[in-house]
Amino acid sequence: MTRVVSLGVGFSDCSCHLDLEITVSLPPLVEPAEELSVNEVKRYSRHLIIPDVGMSGQKRLKNAKVLCVGAGGLGSPALLYLAAAGVGTLGVIDFDVVDESNLQRQIIHGQSDIGRPKALSARDSIKEVNPYVNVVVHEEALTNDNVMDIFSGYDLIVDGTDNFATRYMVNDACVLLGKPYVWGSIFRFDGQASVFWAEYGPCYRCLYPEPPPPGMVPSCAEGGVLGVLCASIGSVQVTEAIKVLAGIGEPLVGRLMIYDALEMNYRTLNIKKDPDCAICGANATITELIDYDNFCGVVTADAQEAAAGSTITAADLKGMLDREEKIYLVDVREPNEYEIVSIPGAVLIPKDQILSGAALEALPQDRQIVLHCKSGARSAECLAALKNAGFSDAVHVGGGILSWINTVDPALPAY
Enzyme catalytic residues: 220, 373
Q: Please state the separation of Cα 339 from the chain's center in Å.
A: 26
Residue 31 DSSP one-character state? P
Query: Residue 366 — φ and ψ, nearest 5°?
Result: -100, 10
The crossing angle, in degrees rounded to 10, of helices 75-85 and 227-246 is 40
Strand 347-348 relative to strand 327-331, pairing: parallel
DSSP-derived secondary structure for 249-313: S--SBTEEEEEETTTTEEEEEE----TT-TTTSTT-S--S---HHHHH-SS-HHHHHHHTT-EE-
Whether residue 89 contacts residue 133, with contact meaning beta carbons closer than 8 Å, is answered with yes
27 closest CA partner among 273, 177, 244, 253: 244
CA angle 160, 166, 172 (to 5 degrees): 105
Query: Residue 404 — φ and ψ, nearest 5°?
Result: -60, -45
